[in-house]
């Protein structure tokens, strides 16, 4: 699914109205019905629905929702923010339609003394300002937003929380944005929903299709997309009857050190569970018996050192190489990573301490083979690229880094972002907070390494790997809950994740 800019969404609206054909007021009615339907399915009728209406089309949506909810026998009160004598045309039409309904109640808010009483039994619907907002809220609109945020009632935002910009909020007034519990976005998500700093505003968000022209959307350019099951389903390479273990790659995983052999086990087991034909784990001597006992399916390459990674094995016979989980950052390990980068020319996977070494010796970044996949968490990313002023700036820095170095960057998080050498960016839709646990990133490294070694293109290996990782975590969470989830549970549910996609 594409993620379009607010200006592009207005283009889609206009094109749909002109070419479907459908008049704008009827498109608004259709959009409002998706909101009303969601409320009827999720909000009980013993609640009082208090709807706050702005002067633009977002207010028109809200007025249509108010009328529809009254038809569904909800108790509805409407409050019109009076900051102008002029309403948008469709907002005015819906205001007139609402006024003629029997027992309809509408009040104007022209000053702070007009703010209504709100109780915990109320549900507030935010229809003040939509995605077309280009200015920071101030004055009475800001006061109303703060009043609603300070109430004890849950807020449902129509399309986007009022005051939140669709893309960059680095210069926004964070005290002038609705803090919604639920955001119901029309047709497509907004880019700002994917950034951690905006979770407090967007809350739990859903995308509601409203029938905007699909062909026009498909032909619009956007560097941002989301990853869903349909996308990855078409990327899976299905096994053939006469294939053998050599068909599915032989990967080399360089991982583990004294006290950190668990990282090597998790990553190697994830390689095997994701479908690698052969997995060799390069570990210090201390790890030999550990790996041999924990993973009898894996082969072992033994380092010269007892406790750390210090020497590079012959990499020519492997279809892909991954390095980083638990290797540490000792001086001999840094030298060994530098030697590895001198000897390898095919795309590889670099994670954890491998990234930390790159951060300390940034000249090594240029030695990383083109189209390799780097998998930092936010702190590793910050060490690699430096601090940014906010999430929007960070995603731009991530894109620029991928383009400048011709590398894929998998920035791990609630909506893991994958940036590509061509400047495109994909946000993941699978996964849950239970995956915020030690070893989860090591598992992801193993998954991506396995896919790369099996012959997937680096882009597909990164995208499919991230989605599989999240989906396996979701399946594990369904079984045992988020709090009890550990990294091994993700590995154990890779098989069910594959089956669910297929």
Q: How far apart are CA 47 and CA 401, in angstroms?
A: 50
| Cα–Cα distance for residue pair 310/308, rounded to 1 Å | 6
DSSP, res 103:
T
pLDDT number for residue 334: 98
pLDDT tens, position by position, for the chain (502 residues)? 999 999 999 999 999 999 998 999 999 999 999 999 999 999 999 999 999 999 999 999 999 999 999 999 999 999 999 998 899 999 999 999 999 998 898 999 999 999 999 999 999 999 999 999 999 999 999 999 999 999 989 999 999 999 999 999 999 999 999 999 999 999 999 999 999 999 999 999 999 999 999 999 999 999 999 999 999 999 999 999 999 999 999 999 999 999 999 999 999 999 999 999 999 999 999 999 999 999 999 999 999 999 999 999 999 999 999 999 999 999 999 999 999 999 999 999 999 999 999 999 999 999 999 999 999 999 999 999 999 999 999 999 999 999 999 999 999 999 999 999 999 999 999 999 999 999 999 999 999 999 999 999 999 999 999 999 999 999 999 999 999 999 999 999 999 999 999 9
281 close to 460: Cβ distance less than 8 angstroms: no
Residue 64's nearest CA partner among 13, 98, 87 is 98
Helix (H) or strand (E) holding 72: none
The reported pLDDT for the residue numbered 207 is: 97
The pLDDT of residue 159 is 98
Domain made up of 6-222: CATH architecture:
3-Layer(aba) Sandwich (3.40)
Listed by start position, the domains of the chain span 6-222, 231-236+248-501
> Is the distance from CB of 116 to CB of 52 less than 8 angstroms?
no
Residue 466, pLDDT score? 98
Residue-wise pLDDT for 436-461, tens only, equals: 999 999 999 999 999 999 999 999 99
Q: E-assigned strands of 236-363?
A: 250-254, 278-283, 299-302, 320-323, 349-350
H helices present in 312-390, as ranges: 331-343, 352-360, 378-385
pLDDT for residue 169 = 97
Task: Supply the pTM of this predicted model.
Answer: 0.95
Residues 6+ apart with CB under 8 A from 486: 437, 438, 439
Quote the CA–CA distance of 21 and 459 in Å, as a whole number.
39
Tens-digit pLDDT profile for residues 36-74? 999 999 999 999 999 999 999 999 999 999 999 999 999
Q: Hey, do 6-222 and 231-236+248-501 end up sharing a CATH topology, with the first three levels equal?
A: no
User: Which pLDDT does position 335 carry in this prediction?
Assistant: 98
CATH code of 231-236+248-501, in short, is 3.40.1190.20
Give me the residues paired with residue 108 across strands.
80
Alpha-carbon gap, residue 56 to 498, rounded angstroms = 46
CA distance 364 to 205: 41
């Amino acid at each position: 699914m594409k993620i379009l800019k607010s200006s592009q969404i207005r283009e889609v609206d206009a094109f749909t109205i002109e070419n479907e054909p459908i008049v704008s007021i009827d498109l608004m009615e259709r959009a409002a019905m998706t909101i009303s339907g969601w409320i009827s399915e999720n909000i009980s009728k013993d609640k009082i629905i208090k709807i706050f209406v702005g002067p633009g089309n977002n207010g028109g949506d809200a007025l249509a929702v108010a009328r529809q909810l009254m038809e569904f026998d909800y108790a509805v009160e409407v409050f019109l923010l009076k900051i102008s004598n002029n309403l948008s045309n469709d907002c005015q039409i819906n205001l007139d339609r609402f006024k003629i309904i029997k027992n309809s109640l509408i009040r104007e808010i022209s000053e702070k003394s007009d703010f209504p009483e709100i109780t915990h039994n109320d549900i507030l619907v935010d229809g003040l300002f939509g995605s077309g907002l280009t200015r920071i809220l101030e004055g009475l609109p800001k006061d109303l937003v703060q009043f609603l945020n300070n109430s004890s009632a849950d807020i449902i935002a129509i399309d986007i929380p009022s005051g939140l910009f669709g893309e960059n909020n680095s210069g926004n007034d964070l005290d002038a944005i609705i803090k919604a519990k639920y955001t119901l976005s029309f047709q497509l998500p907004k880019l700002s929903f994917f950034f951690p700093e905006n979770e407090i505003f967007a809350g739990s968000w859903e995308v509601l299709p409203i029938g905007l022209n699909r062909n026009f959307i498909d032909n619009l350019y956007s560097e941002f997309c989301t990853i869903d099951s349909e996308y990855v389903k078409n990327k899976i390479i299905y096994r053939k009857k006469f294939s053998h273990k050599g068909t599915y790659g032989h990967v080399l995983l360089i991982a583990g050190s004294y006290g950190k052999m668990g990282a090597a086990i998790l990553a190697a087991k994830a390689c095997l569970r994701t479908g690698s034909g052969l997995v060799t784990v390069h570990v210090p001597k201390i790890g030999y018996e550990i790996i041999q006992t924990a993973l009898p399916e894996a082969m072992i390459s033994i380092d010269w050192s007892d406790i750390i990674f210090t020497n590079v094995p012959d990499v020519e016979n492997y279809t892909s190489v991954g390095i980083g989980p638990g290797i540490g950052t000792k001086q001999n390990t840094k030298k060994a990573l530098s030697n590895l980068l001198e000897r390898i020319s095919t795309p590889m996977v670099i994670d954890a301490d491998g990234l930390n070494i790159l951060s300390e010796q940034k000249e090594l970044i240029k030695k990383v083979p083109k189209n390799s996949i780097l998998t930092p968490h936010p702190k590793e990313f910050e060490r690699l690229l430096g601090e940014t002023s906010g999430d929007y700036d960070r995603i731009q820095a991530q894109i620029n880094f991928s383009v400048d170095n011709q590398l894929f960057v998998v920035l791990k998080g609630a909506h893991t972002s994958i940036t590509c050498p061509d400047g495109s960016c994909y946000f993941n839709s699978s996964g849950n907070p239970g995956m915020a646990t030690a070893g989860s990133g090591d598992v992801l490294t193993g998954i991506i390494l396995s896919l790369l070694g099996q012959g997937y293109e680096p882009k597909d290996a990164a995208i499919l790997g991230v989605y599989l990782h999240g989906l396996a975590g979701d399946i594990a969470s369904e079984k045992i809950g988020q709090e009890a989830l550990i990294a091994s549970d993700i590995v154990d549910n890779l098989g069910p994740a594959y089956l669910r996609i297929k």
